[in-house]
Structure 1
Amino acid sequence: MTSPHSHDESDGAAHSHSHDHAPTVTEDSERRIFWVMCMTGGYMILQALGGLLSGSLALLADSGHMLSDTAALGLAWFAFRLASKPADSKRSYGYHRFQILAAFTNGLTLFFIAGWIIFEAIERLMQPGEVLGGMMLVIACGGLVINIVGFYLLHRGDRHNVNMQGALLHIMGDLLGSVAAIVAAIIILMTEWMAADPLLSILVAVIILKSAYSLIRRSGHILLEGTPENLDMALIREKLIAYLPEIIDVHHMHAWSLTVEKPIVTMHVQVKSSADLETMLRAINAFLLSEFEIDHATLQLEHNNCPTEEII
C-alpha cells in the first residue's frame, strides 16, 4: 500500500505521486529458475553426446535448444537478481525493466533456434542418414523426465511475470522436443522410416515459433510503453467521474508498465473549486487501487482548465 502526498501550488493545482518501487520479485521465483537452469544444463551435455552417437537430429536439435535454454534461464535468473536491487539516483524505477529485456531476448533466441532446427531438418530430408532408434529413445525419455520436472517447478512459480513466462516457454519447447524425439524413435524402431526424425523436428520448431512470437509481442509492448492490456483508460475516466461528483473532467491520461505486475498511470483531474485537494488526492488513489489495482499513480489536480497542452 502506498501513501499519497501532495503539495498546493499557486495555480491551484496539486500533484500526487504514489511511490512504491520496492522489489516485488520473490526469492521463490529466483530459486526455481536457478535449479531448473542447473538441471537443464547438466542434461544438455548428455543429450548432445547421445545425439552425436545415435545420429538423431531430433536429439541434437533438442540439445541445442537446451543449450540456449540454459543461457536463457541464466539470463532470467540474473534479471531476477538484478531486479531486487533498490532504486538509485540514476535509475529511479530500479532495475525491474531488465526482466522485460530478458524476456524479449529469450523470445528472439527461440526464433533463431526454430530456424536452425528447420534448416537442419530440410538438409536431413534431402540427405537422410541412419539413426540409432534404441539409444535415441532412452536419451529422449531421460530428457522428458528432466523437462517435466523443470516445467513443474516453473509452472508453480509466478506465471504472470513475463520473465518467468519466457523461461517457461523455453522449457515447454524442450519438453515438446523430447516428446518428438521419443515418437520419432518409436517410429524408427518399428518401421525404420528415418524421415520421422526431421519431420517431427520441424513440427516442434513451428510450435516454438508460435510461442516465441507471443512472448516477443507481449514484452515488446511493455518496452514500447504501451498501455497495459488489462487497463481501459476510457473506463477509468468514466468510473472516476461517476464515483466522485467533485470531478469535472479527467484528461492527459497515460499508462504504461514497468513490468506486467507494476502498471503506472498519470492523469490530470479537473475538480470543482469547492473540492479539497488533499481529500480528492486520497480518494482518487484509493479508488484506483481498489478498482484497478493501480498503486503507482501521478495525479495533477486542477480547479481551472488545464494550463498546458497535452504532450504525447
Structure 2
Amino acid sequence: MGHHHDHDHAKDMPSSRLGWAFFLNFGFTIIEFIGGVLTNSTAILADAVHDLGDTLSLGLAWLLNKFGNKQPTHQFTYGYQRLNLVGALINAMVLIAGSAWVLVTAVPRLWDPQMPMADGMIALAVLGIAVNGFAAYKLSKGKTLNERVINWHLLEDVLGWVAVLIVGVALLFVDWPILDPLLSIAFTLFILINVARNLWATLRLFVQATPDQETYRNVAETLQALPEVADVHHLHFWSLDGESHVLTAHLVLARNLSAEESGELKQQIDEALLKYELSHTTIELEHPDEVCRDSP
C-alpha cells in the first residue's frame, strides 16, 4: 500500500527488507520464548509476546507489499489493501491472548516472587538489542508506510530490551526478584493499551466509519461550493485500510447542462478533490428535476 515505484528493482527492495526483518524477528521470537522459560523470567516472556506481535506485523506487511503490486480483479475489485484490516484484527487477537497468558503467569509472582537467571536475562537482552537494532537499521532505509511504521515498533523493542538488560544487571547485585514480574506487567499493559487503540481503529474501518470527520465535512463543503451544484447528498466517505480512502457522492445540478458544460464541471470536480488524495471516487450528476434512485 502507499508508495509505488517505477521499476521492478525498486518494487523488490521493500519486499526484500521486510522479508529479511520478518525471518530475523521470527527466529528470535522463538529463541525468546525458550529463553523466557529457561531463565524463569516473565519479563522476557512478555517481551516475546511483544516481538510475536511485531513478527506478525512484519509478515503481514511483507505479504501486502507483494499483493500491493497486483491489479484489482473481478473478485477483489478494490485490490488487496483491505487484507491489512484482516491482518490487524488477527494480530490484535494474538497479542491479547498472549498478554493474558503473561499476566496470568506474572501477577501471582508479585506475592511469591521467583528469582530469574539474571545472567541469562542479560545475554538475551544483549542479543535482543542487537537483533532488533539491526532489523530497525535495515528498515530505516525504507520509504514505504509499512516500513516506517514497523521500524518504530522495532525501535520500541530495542528500548524494551534495554529495560530487561537494566533489570538483569540490577538482579546481579540486589535480591529483588519482584523486579521481573513488575517489568513484565508494565510491558504487557503497554502492549494492551496499544492493541486496544489499534483494535478500535480497525473495527471502525471494518464497519466503514468515516476515517476522518473533518475531511468528510471539508469534502462536502468543497463539492457544495462548486458552480452549477445546487445540493450534495448520498456522500459516503470510507477507507480501504486507513490510508487509501474512497468517496462516492450525488451532486444535484442547479440547471440542465450541455455535454460540454458537464465535461467542464467534471474537470472542476477533479481539481477540487485533488488535495484530498483519494484512491477511488465515484461522482454522479443529477438533473434538477431528476428523482434520485437511491432515495428511500
Partner of 1:54: 39
Which residues of structure 2 form unaligned runs of 5+? 6-10
Tell me if the contact between 1:58 and 1:177 (Cα under 8 Å) persists in the aligned partners.
no
Pairing 1:86-235 to 2, within 5 Å after superposition: 86-154=71-139, 157=142, 160-161=145-146, 165=149, 167=150, 171=154, 174-229=157-212, 232-235=215-218
Secondary structure, aligned partner of 2:233: strand
More helix by share: 2
Which residues of structure 1 form unaligned runs of 5+? 1-20
C-alpha distance in 2 between matches for 1:133 and 1:23: 45
C-alpha distance in 2 between matches for 1:22 and 1:145: 29
Question: Using CA pairs below 8 Å that are at least 6 residues apart, which structure has the higher relative contact order?
Answer: 1
Partner of 1:246: 228
Partner of 1:262: 244
C-alpha distance in 1 between matches for 2:266 and 2:118: 69
C-alpha distance in 2 between matches for 1:233 and 1:306: 25
Greater CA deviation, 203-212 or 25-34? 25-34
Secondary structure, aligned partner of 1:252: strand
The alignment's TM-score, normalised by the length of structure 1, stands at 0.80
Give the Å deviation of 1:70. 3.0
Q: Which amino acid aligns with 1:130?
A: M
Secondary structure, aligned partner of 1:253: strand
Q: What is the percentage of aligned positions where both structures have the same residue?
A: 30
Greater CA deviation, 91-100 or 76-85? 76-85
The alignment's TM-score, normalised by the length of structure 2, stands at 0.84
Q: Does 1:299 align with 2:283?
A: yes
Closer/same/farther in 2, CA of residues 231 and 309 from structure 1, 3 Å limit = farther
